Amino acid sequence: MREVLEPSFFRRRPDLVAMDLLGKVILNKRRGTAGIIIEVEPYFGPEDPASRARKGGDLARTMGSEPCTALIYGVHRQWLLNVVAHEEGELGAILIRGIIPINFAIFEPLSKPIYGPGRVTKYLGVDKSFHKAFLCDPYQELQLRHGLSVDASLITRSKRVGVREDLPEPFNFKVRVEDLKMKRIPLKFQC
């Protein structure tokens, strides 16, 4: 447990990956910051009116790159952290919108949740330099690791935040913090 996620985890439909990312851990090894993911949004290919995939260029190319690659989207003076996720030959990425800061070593919360994709990257110390980093590699500075298991019944769905033209289905996924069972888990390995 608590190891990095497998790339195959991300080789599925972005909405399914998004839901399963809730409870997982994002870790910045260099900075020593980490958080449990509590809010995400999937973005799909060109059929998704809110997706940067339809714009082409580097963002669209990155959305089609190796699943588990970081995609850093710069907008309005924020860096937004996404993880590439898609089936073979498709495009997709998951936006990380909320975390609970944790002490990774003892796996305990450090503070109230952080909501807002720009605030998440600011807390974690993620910027453009992490663009295209591979997050399923234990030797990378930025990693995605296993964390808590979240029951599907505890996931709330709503429309994606801040998009003008959204898909008919609600694609914002959240877990309520009080529904997360935090328990002390001894660290089996050092990182």
Partner DNA sequence: CGCCAGATTGACT
Partner DNA sequence: GTCAATCTGGCGG
Which residues here bind DNA, judged by CB under 7 A? 43, 50-52, 55-59, 71, 73-78, 80, 82, 93, 95, 116-120, 122, 128, 160-164
Minimum Å gap between C-beta 134 and DNA is 18
- Give the shortest CB-79-to-DNA separation in angstroms: 8
| Residues with Cβ within 8 Å of residue 121, at least 6 apart in sequence | 72, 78, 79, 80, 81, 127
C-beta of 66 vs 108, nearer to DNA: 66
Residue among 107 and 144 whose Cβ is closer to DNA = 144
Please count the CA atoms within 13 angstroms of the CA of 158 that sit on its side-chain side: 7
In one letter, which amino acid is 128? K
Residues 138 and 124: their CA atoms lie apart, in Å, by: 17
Burial of 53 (0-12, 13-18, 19+ CB in 10 A): buried
CB of 163 to DNA, least distance (A): 4
Rounded least distance, CB 182 to DNA, Å: 24
Shortest Cβ 93–DNA spacing (Å)? 5
Partnered with residue 172 across adjacent β-strands are 158
Under a CB-based contact definition with an 8 Å cutoff, are residues 136 and 6 in contact?
Answer: yes
Token pair, residue 109, equals 């919360």
The smaller minimum CB distance to DNA, of residues 7 and 116, is found at: 116
Considering the complex, state which of residue 42 and residue 107 has its C-beta at the smaller distance from DNA. Answer: 42
Instruction: CB nearer to DNA: give 2 or 118.
Output: 118
